Amino acid sequence: MLDLTWAKRCDELTRATERLASIGAQDTLTFLRASFSSPKVLHLLRCSPSAGNHALQTFDSHLRSAIRKITNSALSDIQWLQASMPIAHGDPGVRRVSSLAIPAFLASAASTLPLQDDILSLCPCATDTFLDQYLSTWSSSAGPPPDPLPGKQSFWDKPGLLTDHALIESSLVEPSQRARFLAAQVPQSGDWLLALPIANCGLRLNDEAVRVAVGMRLGLSLCKVGVSR
């Protein structure tokens, strides 16, 4: 049943990304980040043990393809990793669902543990094997969690974000690359990504401006220089 549900979510995202091609790039980016990416399936991630499901990679590949269409550029694995980081980290904020599967489930399980204990206090129940498994996976890289378990998803998400951030930073060799990456993390530098594309307020960017703005944050090759003969 879970495989079928995820297959449906992937099909819905496929249709959505195809239709988004007919609207502006800024609108597309806004819809992807706020509606069609992780927010669309967050309830499923929190309520179902989805980590490791192959459909999550399929879902992420559709998101990567959508970013590729917005920028009209191929994304390396590092550039896609950067594109999927939150805006606060200097990136477009189209989160990968595969990176959220464990944090979302752990946050949901931890926040409902007291209620579960109250409801099942008179019933002998086996431990939640998925909770134990995900806690073990999370602890192997982030260390043991506090007791009681935090119910905020941001707590469980933070170690993965720090790891991804370090991986991106370690891949930057040239000083100009590091300068670009650090500049994108300056407070308020990503506020334009949160602005609604309202033309009457002067907040709508044309497609080329969005392509360049996103591409520069990700370090994409936006132009190809011709070779003289």
Q: What's the pLDDT tens digit per position in 107-146?
A: 999 999 888 878 877 777 777 899 999 999 999 999 999 9
Residue 21: predicted pLDDT: 87
**CA gyration radius, the chain:** 20
Q: What is the average pLDDT across 207-216?
A: 92
Phi, psi for residue 54 in degrees, rounded to 5:
-65, -25
Percent pLDDT > 90 in the chain is: 69
Q: What six digits make up the tokens of 171?
A: 């891949």
Instruction: Spell out the long-range contacts of 162-170 with Cβ–Cβ below 8 A and sequence spacing 24 or more.
Output: 164/81, 164/85, 164/99, 165/85, 165/89, 167/78, 167/81, 168/78, 168/81, 168/82, 168/85
pTM confidence score: 0.89
Q: What is the average pLDDT across 186-210?
A: 90
Would you say how long the chain is, in residues? 229
Residue 79: predicted pLDDT: 94
Crossing angle for the helix pair 2-20 and 54-71, to the nearest 10 degrees: 10
Residue 127: predicted pLDDT: 76
Residue 228: predicted pLDDT: 46
Contact 13, 44 (CB under 8 A): no
Average pLDDT, the chain: 90
pLDDT higher than threshold 90 for residue 65: yes
Q: What six digits make up the tokens of 115?
A: 């209620």
Q: What's the pLDDT tens digit per position in 79-90?
A: 999 999 998 887
Q: What is the average pLDDT across 214-219?
A: 91
Alpha carbon 86 to chain centroid, angstroms: 7
Q: What's the pLDDT tens digit per position in 7-19?
A: 999 999 999 999 9
- Cα 138 to Cα 130: distance, rounded to the nearest angstrom: 12
pLDDT band for 224, please (50, 70, 90 cuts). Answer: low
* Cα distance between the two ends of the chain: 61
What does the domain layout of the chain look like in residue ranges? 2-99+156-218, 102-154
